[in-house]
Structure 1
Amino acid sequence: IKIFDDLSANLPALHDSWTAQNMVPLSSLITDSYDIYANFPVNTMEDLQNRKLNAPGTSANWLQGTGATPVDGALTTYYTNIQTGVTEGTLSFASGILPTRVYEVAPELTRVGIGSMYFGAIAANKDFFDGLPAPVQEAFTAAASVTSTAHGDYVSMLAEKAMTEMQAAGLTVHELSAEEKAKWTEGLPDIVAPWLEQTGEDGKIVLSAYFDALRENGVTPGRDWDAGR
């Protein structure tokens, strides 16, 4: 949240993309961490071979090269998909799995540490925002910062609560080893390339700035997707 709030406000390549939509970004929105919820345990990458997992949208990219087949869907369809054998699990996040009770049909959670996903922001119409008096604009910006912090705390709280309740209901938790995580990461094709083809030089600037910010905040990426761009 901190990184995207900063880049959306201060990195022209990203900020201008909001301006092009006549919007002013205020506060970033995220999920908690994506992991594998399935009706089978995952101890090695071989355990994913020929498995079908719900992985909608861009999250399907994370299964490329793993041997698993991504199947489109949504939190509202995962339960039935897994129950009827359409899929055998899903890449998803705890705060979404708990209320949809997917853990009942996918009682094996494998922590793989994919991390959270940024999926958008609270934003204001630019014409409206520009028409506000400066003190009101400043109040909006200050409130947005508080909202980002509160949202991050809320998502963390929901994820922790979900894990406690799901484990009490019978969810078994496994941790994929660092060695197997590295196999997954290193085995992925260049999943960034298609996005860069669409976004061009601005995309390269945003990618580089994002990974620089990760490292400045003490995060060591599992793979340097910005290298050589």
Structure 2
Amino acid sequence: MPTPYGDSVFHTRNIMEFADDVAESTDGELEITVHSAGSLFAHPEIKDSVRRGLAPIGETLMSRLANEDPIFEVDAIPFLAASYEDADKLWQASRPVVEEKLAEQGLTLLFAVPWPGQSLFTQEPVESAADLEGAAFRAYNAATETLASLMGAVPTQIETGDIPTAFATGRVDAMITSPSTGVSSQAWDFTSYYTDTQAWLPKNMVIVNTRAFDALPEEVQSAVMEAARAAETRGWEMSEAETEAGVAQLEENGMTVTQPSETLSQEMSEIGEQMTADWLEAAGDEGQQVIDAYRAE
């Protein structure tokens, strides 16, 4: 089983527990060997390696498949689902369509787990979007470029490893990223304020080659699905714990942690509506059904 991230990352730790649960519940009849940190296949190759049967099971970031179908990007729309509670509702609304899209490619979804939410890191407090007017804002994909522009900032492409240098040299003034990335890049060295926007909570998903899965004895299939349900529940809990620990570490290192102001919350909601409308243009009727089901919750 190839996975993209190292052994210390909570996603990988959760998957290793999943593998242990499968081995235990099947009395060793099915064993899953986890090859972490891209050691078997690089992240961009994992999904196709499972589809082609080169590996029977693997993990990938769901929104990486957005070029195949916009549905896979629904959890990366800023300010559509900006909390764990809302992210769970969005997942329940979108899961049937995601499963259907994967099934068309001979893939079966086992479980999905979110990363901590994306929040604002700035050098000065942000009470409204006007405080970001003209600021160089770190972007790393088309969505964050659009987001920066809608907030009045200037999008600037910066890779994760270059974040500290970009701030130190004045190439960038603000960013939106997870508290995990904030901790790993020691954001307190170059920013002072963390605004807990949780703009979106992108998910990793674990998929299995359907033909390989169907070839397993029925009782083994049942054991895998039961372990997958447990892994999804545990993974969401681990993600929330990761968020709390990351935010606490930012605060311990001197950063001011705040909730978005009423003005900023309203502005973010309006940006979310606009970016959702843009996504719906690409996603069509299927996307509208997902959004309608989510909002019905």
Taking structure 1 as the reference length, the TM-score comes to 0.80
Distance of 1:6 and 1:176 partners within structure 2: 26
Q: Greater CA deviation, 103-112 or 89-98?
A: 103-112
Residue in 2 aligned with 1:164? Answer: 248
One-letter identity of the residue aligned with 1:173: V
Residue in 2 aligned with 1:173? Answer: 257
Residue in 1 aligned with 2:131? Answer: 47
- Report the CA distance between 1:80 and its aligned residue: 1.7
Tell me whether 1:80 sits opposite 2:162 in the alignment: no
In terms of fraction of residues, the more strand-rich structure is 1
Distance of 1:174 and 1:121 partners within structure 2: 31
Q: Greater CA deviation, 99-108 or 179-188?
A: 179-188
Distance of 1:171 and 1:8 partners within structure 2: 36
Residue in 2 aligned with 1:117? Answer: 201
Distance of 2:94 and 2:217 partners within structure 1: 22
| Aligned equivalent of 1:139, options 216, 223, 237 | 223
Q: 1:184 to 1:8 in 2, by over 3 A?
A: closer
Indicate if the aligned counterparts of 1:5 and 1:26 stay in contact, CA closer than 8 A.
no
| Uncovered stretches (5+) of structure 1, i.e. residues with no partner | 216-229
| Aligned equivalent of 2:185, options 100, 116, 141 | 100
Q: Encode CA deviations 1:49-77: one digit per residue, 9 max, x unaligned.
A: 00121132234443342211232333322
Distance of 2:94 and 2:277 partners within structure 1: 22
Q: 1:121 to 1:68 in 2, by over 3 A?
A: same
One-letter identity of the residue aligned with 1:19: A
Residue in 2 aligned with 1:196? Answer: 280
Taking structure 2 as the reference length, the TM-score comes to 0.63
- Report the CA distance between 1:111 and its aligned residue: 2.5
Residue in 2 aligned with 1:56? Answer: 140
Distance of 1:183 and 1:200 partners within structure 2: 25
Residue in 1 aligned with 2:79? Answer: none
- Report the CA distance between 1:208 and its aligned residue: 2.0
Secondary structure of 2:196 counterpart = strand
One-letter identity of the residue aligned with 1:94: P
Indicate if the aligned counterparts of 1:28 and 1:118 stay in contact, CA closer than 8 A.
no
RMSD (CA atoms): 2.3
